[in-house]
Amino acid sequence: MTQNTEEFINHLLAQMTPAEMIGQLTQFSAGPETSPDLLRQGQIGSLFNASGALTGQGQSKSSNAATANYFQNLALEARLKIPLIFGRDVIHGYRTVFPIPLAQAASFNPELAGQAASIAASEASADGIKWTFAPMIDIARDARWGRVAEGSGEDPCLGADMAAALVRGFQGDSYSAPDKIVACAKHYVGYGASEGGRDYDGGEISEPTLRDVYMPPYQAAVSAGTGTLMSAFIDLNGVPATANRRLLTDVLRSEWGFDGFVVSDWDSVGELIHHGVAEDEAHAAIQALRAGVEMDMVSGVYHKTLASSLQNGKISLGEIEEAARRVLRIKHRAGLFTQPFTDPDRAALTLLTDKSRQLARKFARDCMVLLKNEHKLLPLSRFRRILVAGNFVHATSELFGTWTPDGRAEDVTPLEEALRQVAPNNVELWFADQPDLALILAQQVDAVVLVLGEHPWRSGENANVSQLELPPGQAELVAAMSTLGKPLTLVVFAGRPLAITRQVAQADAVLYAWHPGIEGGAALGEILFGLGSPSGRLPISFPRATGQVPIYYNQKNSGRPITPDGEFRTRYVDLPTAPLFPFGYGLAYTQFEYSNLKLSAETLRGSLQISADVTNTGPRPGTELAQLYVRDLVGSLTRPIRELKGYQHLHLQPGETRTVKFTLREEQLAFTRADGTRGVEPGQFHVWVAPDSQRGLRAEFWL
Ligand code: NOJ
């Protein structure tokens, strides 16, 4: 197959003019502005979306097979009949909207994420989309950054697992299958480190941190076979990611063996001029292409300038040809040369099936994180009359979260109705979206549930905030409600960790629902009324206040480690240093106890078996996430105080004990040293089997 692909491309390239090769490096938007002539001349390699509302071919801004086929027909009129590849942002579902990626990470269940991606691939491909700009796998340590919603949180181990699972979910065994699509791991690399949480701003990351924290998800995506990557907007350490030859070529291709192609982010080739590293468009194009960006997403700069740069000798034909080769390779692997068209009948059978809704509901349930449950307030089984109040009471598409161009509000059962459908018959539910009315009605009920949080537009690309507290007005409602003495549950819908310190103190129970997607209402009802139990765990640390960010569990110890009362120690004078809730934290409707931590040896030789017993000591069945952490006590560079190395779910009946077993391999202890080499260093290590990143049973071993 590989051989065939390479032979096929060689044969094709031998016939191509430079203009046709540059065409393969050019992506434009599909729409009225898409020139049929350029398509017929083979000067466009990819269209962004397969929608063309104003071309008369499509009815809406959504992609659809008819529009894709219309454009494809034009492209196939070109001399060499090279098919287009249609790309779109299929981020956390297509018509079936799944929980936002950060929520998906809270499930600590990459397999489930892979299943959701597979459904998204099937739906999107039915509408002519063969390439998604996902997964977004940027590590994020600063919740002010709006795009924290789009990734898997702060941890490289979980992030790498999610990245690999998502790539496999979108692509399957072969993305030539009609219901699979090409993945695009983005935004390579370090994009999450933009200063101050300001999207598009620059950042500085040391080489060891870049390698050990920000890169593992990318390396995992490449190992999982991602066909493409997207370069980031960020200026990293003074080099814009779109012009970074060391990272795009030396690391990505030479070290990791990536043989697919890299697409720029939207206009980011042209933006090299604003960054101040390119004099003009021609210069920008040369830098990006030479760095290893094969496709220019919509800036038009390759299209406009590469031919003349070739003529005046500023770029070689070999460089252009090598880039075209990579694009053609992925198109060939995607089966586009043999199957360029989309079956127009597939969408009706594929989009939003009962099965995909069921998965969306299960996923939404498994993502929600119970943060507090005083006096076992939840599930709400003992109350007859319950008031549900807050700005999410009537939510439909507000449950989607960021990046859902293909989700439709009319597909969503409004939160209010979904809760009514799920609530036991003997429960009377009242609803109020107005705070003043809510406070009056609250006096007449047995319990209150406040459904509050962020509108999806406050989350995602460029939706950065300077304050992590609840949006305006909501804290006041929680505070006022808490004075009434009614059992109070707070449900937070959000795309990021919010600093809800005061509200956690005021409410009796707190459930973090993120933006849970199309089935979020029913999923919430199932948890609230005990038909399902919460099992999500935090994939990112929750700060007490905005001033604590960046905050992450795998920090360094410092020369003056944090102690509770430490003067002249790492601290704030006005706030504890510990997060409100640590990475890995989450409660269930029952309790778990850890005991009997055992290691197969005192010294790790190749690998080590680690086991512990976990017992459900509470009254209900429940799912615990046992987490494996290590600490390298002495290294040639300072080492994190803990690093996640594994995790396993245990579903336990009341009173049941199970032994959880982990294998820790030597290479999991490797890290990047100051001189750039990577390896393990002998010495003593701590190991924990733990319910979260701050607690757990601890033992020692040697390497
Ligand atoms: C810009 C965003 O950074 C990227 O994630 C997205 O895929 C592109 N726009 C295309 O919409």
Please determine, for residue 546, whether its predicted confidence score (pLDDT) is greater than 50.
yes
Find all residues with CB under 8 Å of 574, minimum gap 6, and list them: none
- Whole-number pLDDT of residue 56: 44
Beta carbons within 10 angstroms of residue 257's beta carbon: 9
The minimum-distance atom of ligand 1 relative to the CA of 187 is 5
Q: Packing angle between helix 301-311 and helix 281-291, nearest 10 degrees?
A: 90
Return d(Cα 292, Cα 325) in angstroms, integer. 12
Mean pLDDT of 160-167: 99
Q: In the predicted model, is pLDDT for residue 281 greater than 90? A: yes
Which atom of ligand 1 is nearest the CA belonging to 232? 3
Pocket test for ligand 1, best of 461, 462, 464 (most atoms within 8 A of CB): 461
pLDDT attached to residue 3: 58
Could you say which of 506, 524, 539 is where a domain stops?
Answer: 539
**Domain CATH for 124:** 3.20.20.300
Q: Are 162 and 117 in contact (CB under 8 A)?
A: no
pLDDT at residue 422, as a whole number: 97
Mean pLDDT, range 91-102, rounded to an integer:
98
186 lines ligand 1 (CB under 6 A): yes
Is the CB–ligand 1 distance for residue 131 below 6 Å? no
Same domain, residue pair 344 and 377: no
Distance 466 CA to ligand 1 centre (A): 22
- Whether residues 361 and 314 share a domain: the answer is no
In short, whether 403's Cβ falls inside 6 Å of ligand 1 is no
Whether 544 is covered by a domain: the verdict is no
Q: What is the mean pLDDT of residues 564-579?
A: 85
Residue 98 shares a structural domain with residue 117? yes
pTM of the full structure: 0.98
List, by residue number, the catalytic residues: 265
Q: Which atom of ligand 1 is nearest to the CA of 133?
A: 7
pLDDT band per the 50, 70, 90 thresholds, residue 569: confident
CATH number of the domain that residue 437 is part of: 3.40.50.1700
Judge whether 34 lies within some domain: yes
Is 133 a pocket residue for ligand 1 (Cβ < 6 Å)?
A: yes
The answer to whether the CB of 239 falls within 8 A of the CB of 217 is no
- 294 and 310 fall within a common domain: yes
pLDDT of residue 2: 54
Domain's final residue, options 539, 574, 600: 539
Quote the DSSP letter at residue 254: I
∠ CA(529), CA(534), CA(535), 5° rounding?
Answer: 165
**266 within ligand 1 shell (Cβ under 6 A):** yes
Which of 150, 187, 266 is the best mutation target for the ligand 1 pocket, counting ligand atoms within 8 Å of the beta carbon and taking the most? 266
What is the atom index within ligand 1 of the atom nearest the CA of 233? 3
Read off the DSSP letter of residue 312.
T
Q: Are 512 and 547 in contact (CB under 8 A)?
A: no
Residue nearest to atom 3 of ligand 1 (CA): 265
- Considering the domain architecture, whether residues 503 and 637 belong to the same structural domain is answered as no
Q: What is the pLDDT of residues 310-327, one digit of tens each?
A: 999 999 999 999 999 999
CA end-to-end span of the chain: 43
Which domain, by its residues, includes 695? 592-702
Residue 690 is part of a domain; what is its CATH number? 2.60.40.10
Residue identifier of the C-alpha nearest atom 1 of ligand 1: 266
- Could you give the C-alpha distances from 262 to 242, 309, 372, 550, in angstroms and in order? 10, 21, 44, 30
Co-location of 504 and 477 in the same domain: yes
CA of 516 to the centre of ligand 1 (A): 21
Query: Strand, coil or helix: what is 334?
Result: coil
Q: Could you read off the pLDDT of 11-68 as tens digits, one per residue?
A: 999 999 999 999 999 999 998 778 999 999 999 999 999 886 544 444 457 899 999 9
* Tens-place pLDDT, residues 403-419: 999 999 999 999 999 99
Helices (H), 313-456: 317-333, 346-350, 354-367, 415-422, 435-442
Phi, psi at residue 665, to the nearest 5°? -100, 150
d(CA 231, CA 210): 15
Q: Are residues 329 and 370 in the same domain?
A: no
Same domain, 241 and 329: yes
Residues 526 and 598 in one domain: no
Question: In this structure, is residue 441 part of a structural domain?
Answer: yes
pLDDT > 70 fraction of the chain, expressed in percent and rounded: 98
Q: Look at ligand 1, atom 11, and give the residue with the nearest C-alpha.
A: 89
Copy the structure tokens of residue 168.
Answer: 């496999």
What is the CB neighbour count within 10 angstroms for residue 14?
8
Do 333 and 445 lie in one domain? The reply is: no
Is residue 551 situated within a structural domain?
no
CA of 36 to the centre of ligand 1 (A): 25
Per-residue model confidence (pLDDT) at position 354: 98
Mean residue pLDDT across the chain? 96
Within this chain, do residues 326 and 415 fall inside the same structural domain, yes or no? no
Calculate how far, in angstroms, residue 266's C-alpha sits from the geometric centre of ligand 1: 6
Whose alpha carbon is nearest atom 4 of ligand 1? Answer: 265
